[in-house]
Amino acid sequence: MCGIVGYVGHRDAADVVVEGLRRLEYRGYDSAGIALVHDGHVVARKRAGKLANLDKALADDPLPPAGTGIGHTRWATHGPPTDRNAHPHLGAGGRVAVVHNGIIENFARLRADLERDGHELRSDTDTEVAAHLLEAAVEAGSDLTEAMQQVCRRLEGAFTLVAIDGADPDRVVAARRNSPLVVGVGEGESFLASDVAAFIEHTRDAIELGQDQVVTISRDGVEVTDVDGRPAEAGSYRPYHVDWDLSAAEKGGFDWFMRKEIHEQPAAITASMLGRHDAQGALQLDELRISEEELREVDKIILVGCGTANYASMVAKYAIEHWTRIPCEVELAHEFRYRDPILTRATLVVAISQSGETADTLMAIRHARQQRAKVLAICNTNGSTIPRESDAVIYTHAGPEIGVASTKGFMTQLVACYLLGLYLAQVRGTKYGDEIAQIVGELEQMPAYVQRLLDASEQVHRLAEELSTARSVLFLGRHTGFPIALEGALKLKELAYIHAEGFAAGELKHGPIALVEDRLPVFCVVPPPGRDQLHDKMVSGIQEVRARGARTIVLAEDGDEEVAPYADDLIRLPRVPTLLQPMVAVVPLQLFACELATRMGHDVDQPRNLAKSVTVE
């Protein structure tokens, strides 16, 4: 997830673009760059690392004055974060410059075609392919808008592209497909950005583009077409007025980064699924780097992680064992190597870490590799240490997560775990192709289901208001609901600093029920009916705590009326398979923790005593 800015107008473009990038640096800080149109040419500067490195380069070698420019702050996907992989990327002759967010899935084939035609590509990125294609089109006689339309028809994947042409100084052209892009409309000037935060200082009048649309901005206004060149239909893009000011810009209008990241989860799930399967639903995990033959020899899987990643591992155990019949163990990374685990060449160790730098998890995988086990990392940070030291990696593509308490990071870890389990089932033949395709189809419905819960968040906010003086909260679950109960409790511990515990509901009678007292809030995650009598047993557990005075807050799927009489508060979840229910059940618990901490006056993004990435054991 990268940050993009484009500008045409009467101001100094370099100032506008760099300041916009500063407000978008939360979207990526692997590198940054800028390109301007000056005197019939493109002039560019770019540097690896944070925006401060680009600032220094511009101070040492200032850009010429210009009224048209584009900029980019990168979260690396294709190619490591180096100067040459930084954006903008130029065409073969340096006439066209492009910045890009997203993934061009067919870039390898397009790159091969370009190289056969004599093009020399200098970076490891998919973006440079688009730059060469655009420049070839304008050199053949198309204007930049027509070139963008032509190129987009050839591209596969999810992307935002923004381009300038040195021979056409009065326009910036962009295209959007399943990736954020917003237009800002000012007086004699126009803006493009990944987020309105980039230009809120200059205008609050914005346009939200639709899918597969191409936009051309100039000093005189904005034109929107589809990729076939037809004028965009009325209603396919949405003008709106931004009602928040610059002080909230970095958070995109949200009070906390965490709340913003909770609301980004539908897009994060989509990004995590992108390019993972073909039209028939067969999975293709290109980053895996472990052969199918080696995967067929795996006789045990050990999942290691800390905190939230550990709970994702627990969900994964249910799914992977069910789909593949491979025994799975779940280990806390900081305990793993100290108990002398039994590892062989046929053991697959799956290390889950949002940052890829978690010290405990890193030590665990080093121990596993010393024992000659295979290691697969599930990670959100391209090029970080854990993926580099693993045999294989599945990147979650959640984008930067700034809030310390993980939300979209956890959600996309679940997606990656499901994809791994299904891929193993495909390779080992424990699931038929149509069964895998059906589950993949169900996963692709999750963004809509999560969005539905986000749109109905007012009920959870009311609960947080009513429970703002609570000093203890319990969470109960069975099957995949048990790790979600643990995750719900962790979020309250992290943010609200109150006693919160998650339990397997069957453990109630073995001790924890002694904690239940009058009006104690108890969240209960109810599995869908019809699976191994789990539903009925969970309902019995709810009755037991309610009989002892607890306030029962029940999360149950649409249509489950059996549980309603025992719920003081009933939160309806979309109907999904039991193994996928964690993806919807966790959302109300995230919202509750964020809102409760807010009402208690805590700093939600930077809770006390915590850090985003734990880099010491």
Active site residues: 2, 612
How far, in Å, CA of 193 to CA of 210, rounded?
Answer: 14
Give the CA radius of gyration of the chain. 25
Contact at 8 Å (CB) between 548 and 517?
A: yes
Task: Kindly state the DSSP code that residue 601 receives in the 8-state scheme.
Answer: T
Q: How many CB atoms sit inside 10 A of residue 547's CB?
A: 10
| Residues paired with residue 504 on neighbouring β-strands, in sequence order | 477
Contact at 8 Å (CB) between 137 and 150?
A: yes
How far, in Å, CA of 328 to CA of 352, rounded?
Answer: 14
Contact at 8 Å (CB) between 151 and 137?
A: yes
Helix axes 446-455, 582-599, angle to 10 degrees: 30
> 564 Cβ partners below 8 Å, 6+ apart?
556, 570
Helix (H, G, I), strand (E, B) or coil at 385: helix
How far, in Å, CA of 239 to CA of 59, rounded?
Answer: 37
| Beta strand residue intervals within 461-532, DSSP E | 472-477, 499-504, 521-525
CA 37 from centre of chain: 33
**Tokens, residue 234:** 């009325």
CA distances (Å), origin 96, targets 24, 40, 132: 23, 11, 8
- Torsion 54-74-400-307 (CA) sign: negative
**Tokens, residue 112:** 């091969």
Contact at 8 Å (CB) between 283 and 441?
A: no
